[in-house]
Structure 1
């Protein structure tokens, strides 16, 4: 791969929160319904790091029944979750005097079903961007933390995302998940590009930082601001030099 002209040759997309609607919307609704502080469930989801039930499920290490039991237990570990949430508040200089729950009854099965239902709705502007990129000669891949036999994963190869991507790279198949740099490099190898030739879109900061550390050009996709991300991608291509005159 002897080239160093600074051009973009590939674009890699996260799925949930980028190509389809964000499952975090369902989490926020669930928190409001159950009078939980904002981002409480997200903090509980991430507090165990790479060893949490959600993370294990995304790597294909446990099946659904084991996952949902473990995750429900983790979501209802009130003392641990409250401690993690206090740290979250302190890091962000938020109201550390917030009243936290004394007990919870979070149903992991119900919450997960809501997340997956929402994540079947495409973001139309992203779908059109993918099609435009491929018409213009760019290689396009999905790089998704997903689950074996879940609704979105199953649909991705047929109804929902059929034919959109040159490569569809799944954590549950590869056994790696973002933000592990090996997962990004696996996608680059499939696309036959260097990280420095890749624009990477995601909605999660840690995933974007990992991509940037590898030399990729990160674009954050915020809820309700998908069109801004589309413009950012086209702006980077214009700045770096297009492979095709169609901008």
Structure 2
């Protein structure tokens, strides 16, 4: 069995958020759903945030509700008329035009929205796959640290995951036909089990009962990977999650929407190694 190389420098473990970093962003699925249903920009994000710590999505990611109960609760939460007033405050703070009196709270199908979110999150970014493989080859411990959920393990749950993967593949093939001839590698569609094989550790909110940005999940993650805070670099796309990691002493890199290579190049600079092949930079 070959000996694993020892990384040079102060960093030993590289942790990755999943949604919006290694895979597509569920937020893009929300944005697409809002556009398709003629909803104001960020209306659904405001509705999800308004529910706070005990919202349907937050509870799903802590493993407190099953998927089927979540669908019902998510639909009710997103259809709540109180979301209109919350969005009016959001719009006012940003000087956005919004007529609260004439806007009627929509009836939102939580399952349909969730499918659209998850279909984005099933498309893996090839640059991140390449970088993760290079990091592991170089001897770094590579882990996922994700707010997630797990599909039910029964036949019904498997059918639901298979349906989302099929919807993803169909959507991706349609997009590929419209962008034929463009440069760059194609996206990769993966299920949860396959995605987990990319990492040395897959640290999940649904298993721990903790979700980012709770400080406890970062402490637990450091314990799982077995390294000190100053030896960890963390990728995420959400500011609050990165700030919480910084408070734990982690080095952080923000992954901006559509700019994964920029984040990887920042990591290359920090580590002093090359992670992407020349053809991946074209």
Name the CA shift for 1:94/1:200 in 2 (closer, same or farther; >3 Å): farther
2:79 to 66, 76, 79: 76
CA RMSD of superposed structures (Å): 2.0
What residue number does 1:34 align with?
Answer: 37
Q: Which runs of 4 or more aligned residues in structure 1 lie more than 3 Å from their structure 2 counterparts after TM superposition? A: none
Q: Does 2:119 align with 1:117?
A: yes
2:263 & 2:98 partners in 1: Cα distance? 34
> What's the CA shift for 1:6?
7.3
Q: Does 2:216 align with 1:182?
A: yes
> What's the CA shift for 1:175?
0.8
Segments of 5+ residues of structure 2 without an aligned counterpart are 1-7, 153-160, 165-189, 276-282
1:163 & 1:127 partners in 2: Cα distance? 11
What residue number does 2:170 align with?
Answer: none
1:124-162 deviation line (CA, Å, top 9, x unaligned): 10111111111111111101111121649x9333x3x24
TM-score for both structures, normalised by structure 1: 0.87
Contact 2:268 2:274 in 1 (8 A): no
What residue number does 2:198 align with?
Answer: 164
Superposed counterparts of 1:11-90, under 5 Å: 11-78=14-81, 80-90=82-92
Segments of 5+ residues of structure 1 without an aligned counterpart are 239-244
> What's the CA shift for 1:83?
2.4
Aligned residue pairs, count: 231
Rg comparison, structure with higher value: 2
Q: Does 2:95 align with 1:94?
A: yes
1:199 & 1:139 partners in 2: Cα distance? 11
